[in-house]
Structure 1
C-alpha cells in the first residue's frame, strides 16, 4: 500500500530558504525610488509631443535666419559652352515658358549646316532694395512665428509637468489605498478565524462563520479593485514619462508631511498658456502689417556683365566659310558687355486683392483675442477653485486623524465584546466598515492637499509653487 511520506526540511533546505528570503529583501530594498523630479525630467526628455514641438521651434528659428537672408541681393553666375548652327530668318519670336534659344544669326537665303562652338559667361545681380518695409515686416513675421512656436513648446512642457505630477500623486494614493485594503483583508481573515473557532466550540451560531467568510471575500474583491486602480495609475504615469509600463517605487514625502507654504500668489500674466495665446495674436498682427506692404511697388537694382565667345568670324555674313570647328577658338572670351539699371514694379490691381487678405487676417486676430480672453477667464476661475480646495483639503486633513482613531477604537471595542460574547457580528462588521472608510479617507486626505497645491500651480502658471515643496 502506498504510504504518505511527510517532507521534513533539513538544515540544508532551511539555509537555502533563508538565503532566498534575504535575497528577495535585498532586491526590494535595491529598487530605486522614483522621485517626482526624476519623473518630470524623464517625461520632458522622452515625451513625443514635447520633442516634436521642440523641433518645430528650432525650425521656426531657422526661418528667421532665412527671412533675414532673403533681403540679400540675388547674385547669379552662369557659364555655358555649346556647339550648333546659327541659321536665322527675319520674323517675330517669343520664348514661351523659357523655351527660346539663342541660336539665331543673320538671315541667309538658304539652309546650311555650318556649325561651330560658342560660349556665354554671365554675371547677374538683382536687388529689391526698397519695398516700403516689406523685407523688414517679413523678418518680424518670421520672428513672431519663432516666438509663437517657442511659447507653444514652453507651455507644453509646463502642462506636461502638471500632468506628470498629478499622475504621480494619483499612483501614490493608489498604492496607499492598496496597502490599506491589504491590511483590511488580513484583518478580516484574522477575525474570520476567530469566528470559526467560536462557532466550532458552539459559542456562536454557524451563520456567523458564513458571514465572516463573506466579509473576507468582499475584502479580497476590494483589494483586487485597488490593485487594478493602482496598475492603471502606474500605466498612465509610464505613458506620460515615455517609458514601458512597470511597477514604480515612489517617494512617500507626499504622505508624510504637508506643504510648508500654501498661500503664495503669482501674476497670471506670466502664465505659459496665456503667453502662448498672446504670441498667436502677435503673429497675426504682424501678418496684417506684412500683407499691407505687398500692396506697394518694389524698387530694384540690376547689373549684368556678359562675355561671349564664338567660332563664327565677323566676316561670316559675306563668307559662309569663315568659321572654325576648333573648340578653344569657339569658347574663349571674345566680346564683353555690361548693363546697369534701376527699375520699379507695381501691380496696380494688387491693393484690391491685399485689402481682403488684410481684412481676413484682422478677423483671425479678433478670434485669437477671444480665445485668449476665454483662457484668462478659465485660469482665474481655476485659481479661485484651487484656493477653496486647499482650504477644504486642510480641513479634511486635520479631521482624518480623529476619524481614524475613533473608528479604530470602535472596531477594537466591538471585536473584544464579540470575543466575550457581549455583541453580535453585525456590530463588528459595521465597525469594520467604519474603520476601512476612515483609513481610506486618511490615505486620500494627504494626497488631496498636494493635489490642491498642484491645481494652484497649474492655475498661476508657476510650477515652482509646487516643485519647491518637494
Structure 2
C-alpha cells in the first residue's frame, strides 16, 4: 500500500511537471512584426509625433507673418473740450483733445464719436521673412529627425529584448531537459537502492538536484515574463502572446557570411541625421540674426470719420447732435524704419548664435565618432562570437559523451553519485554556453546592423 502511494505521488509530480513544460504555447511572433507593432503603438512615439504637429503649426504661423494689420476701431466719448498751448510727451496715457486754445475755460459736456480703419503692412524687410521661414522649416525638420532617432533607439531597445527572449527560451528548454535527466537519474537510483546496489543517501542527493533544477526553471520563467512585460508596454500586445521565433538564431547562423556585406549607411543614420538637422537649424538662425535687424519698409493707410456736438462756430449743442460722422479723412503713406543701435545688438546676438552653431557642429562630430567606434566594436564582437560558435560544438560533444559514460558507469556500480552529478553539471554548462554563444552572435550581428543603420538588411535574412 505504501509503495502504491509513492507511485501515485510520483506520477502526479511527473504529470504536473510535464503540464508546466508542455503547455501549448501561443504562436510565435516574428521580430519584424513586433517592430511594426512597436512603431504603431509605443506611447513615447505617439507623444513625439504630436510634437511634430506642434512644430508644423508653428511653421505655418511663421509663414504667415507677412500678413498686414488691418484694424477697425470705433469709440463714442463724452467729456469737456479745453486745450492750452505747450508740447508734451503722451506716454500712451494722455487722452487727445482736439481744438484750438480758447480765451476761457469751458466745462460743458461734449459728445464725440470716431471710427477708424487703419492698415499697417511691413511690405519689405530685406529678406527677414524668408529667413524666418527657413528657420521654421529647419525646426520642423529637426523635430522629424528627433522622432526618427527616437524610433531608431526604440528599435534597438526592442531588438535587444527580443534577443533576450530567445536566450531565455533556450535556457528554459535546456533546463527542461536537465529536469528530465535528473528525473531519469532519480528513477535509476530508486531502482538500484531498492535492490541494495546503491545506498539510500544517493536518492536524497538526486532529489536535491532535481529540486534545484526545478527552482532554476521557475526563476528563468520569471525572467522571461519580465522581458515580455517590457515588450508588451511598448507594443500594445498581451505579454503572454510575445513568444519569440526560435528559428531566428539558426537562420542567422546559417548565413554567417552575410554580415560581411553590412556596409554602414552613415549618411542616412538617424542619430547623425538628427544632429545634422540641429546644425542646419542653428545655421539658419544665424542667418536670421543678420536679417532681422535690417531696415523695414512699411505701407500705411487709414480712413476715419468723426462727429461732435460742438459745431464749426464753437457752439456747444445738445449731446444728441454728436452722433454720426460729420467729417471724413484718409491718409496713405510709405515709411522706412531703422534703429542705428541695432548694429550693436545684431553683432552681440550673432556671436551668441555662432557659439550655438559651434556647439551643434561639435555634437555632430562627436556622434559621427561614436558611430564609427560602435561599428568597430561590433566587428570585434562579431568576429569573437563567430569563433566561439565554431568551438562550442566540441565542448558540447565532449560533455554529452562524458555524461553518458558516467551514467552508464553509475548504473554498473563503477562510480558514485558525486561524479555523475559533476558530469551532469558539465553537460548543463556546455548547453548553456552554446545558448549564450548563439545569443552573443545574434546580438553582435544586430549591434552592427543597428549601429550601421542596416537593420532591414538583417531582417530580410529571416524571410
TM-score range, shorter chain: 0.7 to 0.9
Q: Which residue of 2 is the match for residue 3 of structure 1?
A: none
For residue 120 of structure 1, report the CA deviation from its aligned partner. Answer: 2.6
User: Equivalent of 2:233, from 231, 239, 242?
Assistant: 239
Asked whether the 8 Å contact 1:258–1:446 carries over to 2, the reply is no
Distance 1:230 1:467 in 2: 23
User: Equivalent of 1:213, from 207, 214, 220?
Assistant: 207
Q: Which residue of 2 is the match for residue 365 of structure 1?
A: 357
Q: Could you list the per-position Cα deviations for residues 101-154 of structure 1 after superposition, in whole angstroms to 9, with x for gaps in the alignment? A: 4455565634444343x4333222222223232222111111111111111111
Cα 1:346/1:213, change in 2 over 3 Å: same
Q: Which residue of 1 is the match for residue 30 of structure 2?
A: 35
- Residue 46 (structure 2) pairs with residue 51 (structure 1): yes
For residue 378 of structure 1, report the CA deviation from its aligned partner. Answer: 1.4
Q: Which residue of 1 is the match for residue 276 of structure 2?
A: 278
Q: Could you list the per-position Cα deviations for residues 139-181 of structure 1 after superposition, in whole angstroms to 9, with x for gaps in the alignment? A: 1111111111111111111121121111111112112211211
Distance 1:243 1:358 in 2: 51
User: Equivalent of 1:303, from 301, 304, 307?
Assistant: 301
Q: Which residue of 2 is the match for residue 314 of structure 1?
A: 312
Scaled by the length of structure 1, what TM-score is found? Answer: 0.85
Distance 1:48 1:107 in 2: 72
User: Equivalent of 1:201, from 191, 195, 198?
Assistant: 195
Q: Which residue of 2 is the match for residue 158 of structure 1?
A: 152
Distance 1:453 1:406 in 2: 28
For residue 369 of structure 1, report the CA deviation from its aligned partner. Answer: 1.7
Scaled by the length of structure 2, what TM-score is found? Answer: 0.86
Cα 1:119/1:27, change in 2 over 3 Å: farther
User: Equivalent of 2:320, from 325, 336, 341?
Assistant: 325
Q: Which residue of 2 is the match for residue 14 of structure 1?
A: none
Distance 1:443 1:337 in 2: 91
Which stretch shows the higher mean deviation, 211-220 or 98-107?
A: 98-107
Cα 1:375/1:334, change in 2 over 3 Å: same
Q: Which residue of 2 is the match for residue 144 of structure 1?
A: 138
Distance 1:217 1:466 in 2: 41
- Residue 173 (structure 2) pairs with residue 179 (structure 1): yes
Q: Which residue of 2 is the match for residue 293 of structure 1?
A: 291
Q: Which residue of 1 is the match for residue 16 of structure 2?
A: none
Point out where structure 2 has 5 or more consecutive residues left out of the alignment: 6-19
The count of residues paired between Structure 1 and Structure 2 equals: 439
Asked whether the 8 Å contact 1:162–1:463 carries over to 2, the reply is no
Point out where structure 1 has 5 or more consecutive residues left out of the alignment: 1-5, 7-23
Distance 1:467 1:307 in 2: 75
Distance 1:245 1:113 in 2: 85
Which stretch shows the higher mean deviation, 284-293 or 119-128?
A: 119-128
Q: Which residue of 2 is the match for residue 248 of structure 1?
A: 242
Distance 1:412 1:457 in 2: 41
Asked whether the 8 Å contact 1:85–1:103 carries over to 2, the reply is no
SS of equivalent to 2:213: helix
Distance 1:73 1:267 in 2: 47
For residue 410 of structure 1, report the CA deviation from its aligned partner. Answer: 2.2
User: Equivalent of 2:79, from 85, 97, 101?
Assistant: 85
Distance 2:77 2:282 in 1: 55
Q: Which residue of 2 is the match for residue 114 of structure 1?
A: 109
Asked whether the 8 Å contact 1:271–1:462 carries over to 2, the reply is no
Distance 2:422 2:194 in 1: 24
Q: Could you list the per-position Cα deviations for residues 180-201 of structure 1 after superposition, in whole angstroms to 9, with x for gaps in the alignment? A: 1122122213212322332233
User: Equivalent of 1:74, from 50, 69, 78?
Assistant: 69
For residue 273 of structure 1, report the CA deviation from its aligned partner. Answer: 0.5
SS of equivalent to 1:307: strand
User: Equivalent of 1:414, from 373, 387, 406?
Assistant: 406
For residue 214 of structure 1, report the CA deviation from its aligned partner. Answer: 2.6
Asked whether the 8 Å contact 1:87–1:106 carries over to 2, the reply is no
